[in-house]
Structure 1
Amino acid sequence: MSLYDPERRRNDPAARVGMALLRMAQAVKKLSLAEAEEQGLTPVQAQTLLFIRHTKPFLASVGRLAAELGTTHATAIGVVDGLIRRGLVAKEPSPSDRRVTLLRLTPQGEAVCRNLDGWGQTLAEALGRLDSDDLMSLERHLGALVWSLREAGALQVSEPCRGCVHFRENAAPGTPEPHRCVLIDRYLSEADARLACPDFTPAALVGRDSPANPR
């Protein structure tokens, strides 16, 4: 039976929660459309600009964008090409692998992104009405659900480095790039560590503590 079937929801707590999430997704879609249209963008164009702005520059590739959007490589290229024509995005080959195309914002794209700083604020305000204990509980349970969906290949999740199983904080203290990612075998500046990475894997969900935050 479908989640839309009231009889199933009456007898199945998981179905009721699933339906609540679907309704939230509908609300988020509506809000995202309105917020993007204020800047003359589609929601996927706005998401693309925000992906480029908040992702480590050497990881902001077309392929990773496609995974972030949950779409095909060809569709992601179409979105990027539209933003290039508007002068918001530029692309260039990766210096480490010229088969990989990296994306960056133009000054005009940066300006548009600043106008998107309120993206998702309506949802954040709604969640802010929960008391702190309920909000922390919701964060914990939704986080587990998100990572379960990620493991199933249903979505990509990007986060900054701290808390990732691959992150080594202050591996080279006193240098311009003091941190290290063992997954890509690369040293990182503090600015890099604060930007999102599509390969983020939370240490808490792989049964071990983060090397950056040992017990």
Structure 2
Amino acid sequence: MKSVLHPVYFPDILTTAALVQSEQIMYEVCDNYQKQSYRNRMYIGTANGRLLLNIPIKHTGTGGHKKTADAQIEQSFLWQRQHWRSLVIAYRTSPFFEFYEDELHPLFHTEFDSLLNLNKASLHCIYEMLGIMPEATDTKEYKMNYEDSEYDDLRVLADAKRKPEVHLPRYRQVFEEKNGFIPHLSVLDLIFNLGPESLSYLNDLDLKPLLNSKA
């Protein structure tokens, strides 16, 4: 399987499964930036349910379309500290948070100006936590579709409003007794709860429904 995907911020479980199961990955870096997408957000599971963690993006004021590669992060307030604190509060009692904490901590304490650079760093962090290093390249130009390509077009996975195409089997979660099982969170939720078992979970997900409905 070869896939073209957006490099997003600590991707959800389905996106990560597509990354894990792909022999080759092409990151879409030539598209126009879109609001309300996983490019600058992730969802985690907390005692109060699903929580959105959003990266603030600078408004250029120039009008027109802005390339995702040109999107700059607004650093006028300490959003990284807020995200890190939220993760610690949500997952400090999970089975594997302390195991991965040292790998994750530096990313939330290093300032990034470029959203693309931050997202790639978050993906690299996930790969290290999973113990993999997939082959990845960047797109050289924007294509409307990949119908005649060997690559599966999975860029729709960056759409935060999409309807999930794949059923996620239940796995243990920190606040499941209170909230029930919450699917389609950031893969960090899976990793903190399953640890080394996460890779098997991701490899076992059946992505055929997603591939059959690719945009």
Per the shorter chain, which TM-score range?
under 0.3
Higher helix share: 1
Give TM-score scaled by structure 2 length: 0.24
Query: Normalized against structure 1, the TM-score is what?
Result: 0.24
Task: With a CA cutoff of 8 Å and minimum separation of 6, indicate the structure with the bigger relative contact order.
Answer: 2
The structure with the largest alpha-carbon Rg is 1
